[in-house]
Amino acid sequence: MAQTWGNFFFSLLDYKTEKFIIAKNKKVGVLFRLFQLGVLGYLIGWVFIWKKGYQETEEVIQSSVITKLKGVDLTNSSQFGLHIWGAEDYVIPPQGDRVFFIVTNYVVTPNQKLGYCPEGLHFIVVYSGVKTGRCINDTGTCEIHAWCPVEYGKTPSKPLLAKAENFTIYVKNFIKFPKFAFSKSNVLPTTNNTYLKMCRYDKDHHPYCPIFLVGDVINWTGNSFQDLAIKGGSIAVGIEWNCDLDKDESHCNPEYSFTRLDSSTNSQNTAISGYNFRFARYYNDAAGQSYRNLFKVYGIRFDILVNGKAGKFNIIPTVISIGSGLALMGAGVFVCDMILLYMMSKSSLYRETKFEAVTKERKHVRHHCHHRQDGRHKREEKQETEIQPLTSESCQPNNNPEKQIQPTSSALKTHSSERRPQATVSFRTQHATEKQTISAVSTLKTPRNQ
């Protein structure tokens, strides 16, 4: 049992290598070369050139967005009269966040004050006020306690702030990739103070100008400003940073995209399209009575969305990409082996050539030979008066003629009619080595020490 476990553990130290054969089969050879070319093209073209598999990447981007709008428009409505709209009026909220709203159309109910009045015909109680329980015969509605008069009017068929398409949006974006300690802005560094006052974004002529016209942004989404401004909508402005940090910093530039989010094609005829909400502006008269102007505004909501990815050379992803390519090469070898060994007309011949079985008898002879040699060496180290036994066959040639025995097994036969050859036997003593010629059948005796 101990010997079995010993053999097992020693077998773990054996080195096994593959046996390679060359199969003169053109079909399998062409298939294997095509597979290799395909893997090589995938590795170079897709992994390294297109996907930049040699780079370490980071997709966690730290970003800050600051917006500023400019523009003025004059409106004239039957309920509200003349009114000048500046950025502080039509931008909600006004502090310049990455999400903001521009008023393009509105319905106003001016000079409301708290009191009792009939509810509107087209409004639910929760929108108008609280019912008092009295009915008003003139209108056929209930009396409510609310800001009176209740909201009335309908959405204008044309946007009241039609000139809003000429308003400008200044988008200032700062980004940072913390892994690579790289930061940049979408504003072109320049000492020209008038550049930002005069430029307008253009993908071909001014790609570094961060100032956009509202009308241009709507047109880039495939919509018309005049149609969108009536009931409003939601627009996404995407800023994409794809930076190859193995190149110069000037190659890391933002790419803008513009999309309408609130609906699909022909959405203006559906109930889900558009964007609106209500807000009020309060004031007091000379007597201290509280009043308010109620606005139901329609407009365009802008969402500034920032995404990014940065990459830089690193040896680890490079080795991984190369290793994956070599693994695919091994898959090609496996497939071709399966075809060659099991799907060809001469598969049995290929299998016999590729797989060689080592028989147990052959292994035993080799081990027996080693044991005989080891025994002979041990016997040589015995007492000085011992001699080597005669053997009929030597497993390994002996280079020392003093220790060789000349006769063969046939010469040791006592009843042979042939001449009995003489054998030379060497004896080792303390003083010298003596040689004696003896008969092959004589009895060997150890000479006494002289």
Q: Measure the CA–CA gap between 103 and 297, rounded to whole angstroms.
A: 6
Q: Which helix (H) or strand (E) holds 148?
A: strand 141-148
3-state secondary structure of 169: strand
Q: Measure the CA–CA gap between 366 and 372, rounded to whole angstroms.
A: 10
DSSP string for residues in 64-116: EEEEEEE--EEEEETTTEEEEE-HHHHEESTT--SEEEEEEEEEEEEEEEEEE
How many residues can be counted in the chain? 450
70 is in an annotated binding site: yes
398 is in an annotated binding site: no
The phi, psi pair for 52, rounded to 5°, reads 50, 55
Q: Measure the CA–CA gap between 239 and 210, rounded to whole angstroms.
A: 11
The phi, psi pair for 328, rounded to 5°, reads -65, -35
413 is in an annotated binding site: no
166 is in an annotated binding site: no
Query: Residues 229, 161: contact at Cβ < 8 Å?
Result: yes
C-alpha closest to that of 169 among 190, 192, 200: 200
Residue with tokens 């209108």: 139
In the chain, what are the helix, strand and coil shares in percent, each to the nearest 5? 30, 30, 35
277 is in an annotated binding site: yes
Omega before 93 cis (within 30°)? yes
DSSP state of 315: H
Query: Residues 107, 154: contact at Cβ < 8 Å?
Result: yes
The phi, psi pair for 430, rounded to 5°, reads -70, -30
278 is in an annotated binding site: yes
Q: Measure the CA–CA gap between 203 and 416, rounded to whole angstroms.
A: 113
Q: Label the pairing between strands 55-58 and 433-439.
A: unpaired
Query: Residues 70, 167: contact at Cβ < 8 Å?
Result: yes
Q: Measure the CA–CA gap between 11 and 18, rounded to whole angstroms.
A: 17
Q: Count CB atoms within 10 A of the CB of residue 363.
A: 10
Q: Which residue(s) pair with 299 in the sheet? A: 103
Q: Which residue(s) pair with 76 in the sheet? A: 82
List residues forming the annotated binding site. 68-70, 168, 276-278, 296
List residues forming the annotated binding site for ATP. 68-70, 168, 276-278, 296
